[in-house]
Structure 1
Amino acid sequence: MPDRSSTAKLPDRRASRWSGQRDKRRAEFVEAAIAAIEAHGPAVSTGQVAQHAGVARPQLYRHFQDADDLHRAVGRRAGELLIAEMAPLLTHPGGSPAHMIDQAVRTLVRWLAEHANLYQYLTQRAGGGPAGQRGVVADIKTTLGTQLSALLGGYLAVFDLSPRIADPIAFGLVGFVESATDRWLSEPGSLSQEDLADYLANWIWGTLDHVFRSAGVVVDPDEPLPPPPGLPE
């Protein structure tokens, strides 16, 4: 008698391979979309995306439900790229407070400046669209805010301060840097990128210094601090 168990597995294996190929192709299209956005700006057309992908528009939409689906996929990938650069600074910190703040601010400002077209593509579509579209940008800021909150909460606990204020401080600082950089990208005036980062880093330290001093704690911004306990490995 034939071994029905082995033949029964064939369709599943084929389906798995096909699913893997589709996922790979979809990821390639997302990378092509990002390249098209960087080249043509936030008003990029689906035709330009398809051209960068080397396919016709109908083939592109075989892998995405619609333009919103492509936008969400691009947003998730952009978030992965940004978080990959920011996460080491927020989850494995080292050095003095001034050094840590400076590194984090400069990295975020630099990334937004280097990927200004991609950033504007995401934010321009986040204004009045469906919740899924607005969530693309919100998810990125939530991830950064959560990581920064864990870091601040750890240091607050080290100095015997309540970590419950870590969340509003962290999310406020993320929004502060993002909003200020967004405005600078549109209207830089005479302010250089380096100057912007300098000002933001100094203002952030001023905020944190006020938090510590209000609780009777004086922290030297130039004195190295060990990583607080409890951060993810």
Structure 2
Amino acid sequence: MATVAGTGGRDPDRRKALLDAADRVIRRDGPQVSMAAIAAEAGITKPILYRHFGDKSGLYQALADRHVRSVVNILRPKFAEAGADLRVRARATIEGYLGMISADLNLYRFLFHRAGAEDSRTHSHMAAIVRGLGEELGAVIAAGGTVADPVRAQILGHAFVGMVHTTGDWWLEHPEVPRPQLVDTLTDAVLATLSAM
């Protein structure tokens, strides 16, 4: 059997099925779900689950990569849309992000709170993913001509990602705050900053 890059020779279809099982049980039972419950959902034992991912950290990172890739694929075109008004792009991006984290609350809390708190490698991995989003947004800001200095564009990209991420985290604990109000406030902050450049 040929080795598949990035999977340690494991069957990628089997890994996908195991990640699907992890998604199901986390969404259903919440972020504190046990590794034994994930294995049971997949119809295997915990050692076999770990064997497919190396260890618990490998499973966490595989889940993070899967879901962050989905987030990036949805948000990237919203902010980078050519010809669209900056306010429209910023608002669509923020709205899209908040919609995703609130729709998948258990999974979000599993990845950003539980997994990172339990495992230092996963914490570093998640931090690198967030940094990567900041770098990508900084490149979009620079390419759009809104901010001529690429260093300033990078600073702003990281600042905006951090602001939306941490404010979104706060908002999940304050469901009494209407999402449109949060989206408008964050959009105003982004636009006010960019217009001052």
Is TM-score (shorter-chain normalized) higher than 0.5?
Answer: yes
Residue number in structure 2 paired with 1:182: 169
Distance 1:61 1:163, change over 3 A: closer
- Matches of 2:25 and 2:43 in 1, distance apart? 11
- Matches of 2:82 and 2:125 in 1, distance apart? 26
- Matches of 1:16 and 1:164 in 2, distance apart? 41
Distance 1:140 1:115, change over 3 A: farther
- Kept in 1, the 8 Å contact 2:94–2:187? The answer is yes
- Matches of 1:56 and 1:162 in 2, distance apart? 53
Tell whether 2:155 aligns with 1:168. yes
Q: Return the letter of the residue paired with 2:112.
A: T
2:134 to 120, 145, 157: 145
> How much does 1:176 deviate?
0.1
Q: What secondary structure sits across from 1:120 in the alignment?
A: helix
- Kept in 2, the 8 Å contact 1:43–1:121? The answer is yes
> How much does 1:117 deviate?
1.3
Residue number in structure 1 paired with 2:17: 28
Tell whether 2:24 aligns with 1:38. no
Residue number in structure 2 paired with 1:129: 119
- Matches of 1:93 and 1:34 in 2, distance apart? 34
Q: What secondary structure sits across from 2:52 in the alignment?
A: coil
- Report Cα offsets for 1:76-130 as digits up to 9, x if no partner: 1111111111122244444111111111111111111112211111122324632
Moved more, 167-176 or 106-115: 106-115
Q: What secondary structure sits across from 1:43 in the alignment?
A: coil
Let me know the Cα RMSD of the aligned residues. 2.2
Q: Matches of residues 56-205 of structure 1 in structure 2 within 5 Å?
A: 56-124=45-113, 125-127=115-117, 129-130=119-120, 132-156=121-145, 161-188=148-175, 190-205=176-191
- Kept in 1, the 8 Å contact 2:81–2:89? The answer is no
Looking at CA atoms only, which structure, 1 or 2, has the larger radius of gyration?
1
TM-score by length of structure 1 reads 0.74
Distance 1:62 1:126, change over 3 A: closer
- Across the two proteins, how many residue pairs are aligned to each other? 193
Q: Gaps spanning 5+ residues in structure 1: where?
A: 1-13, 212-233
Distance 1:42 1:148, change over 3 A: same
TM-score by length of structure 2 reads 0.87
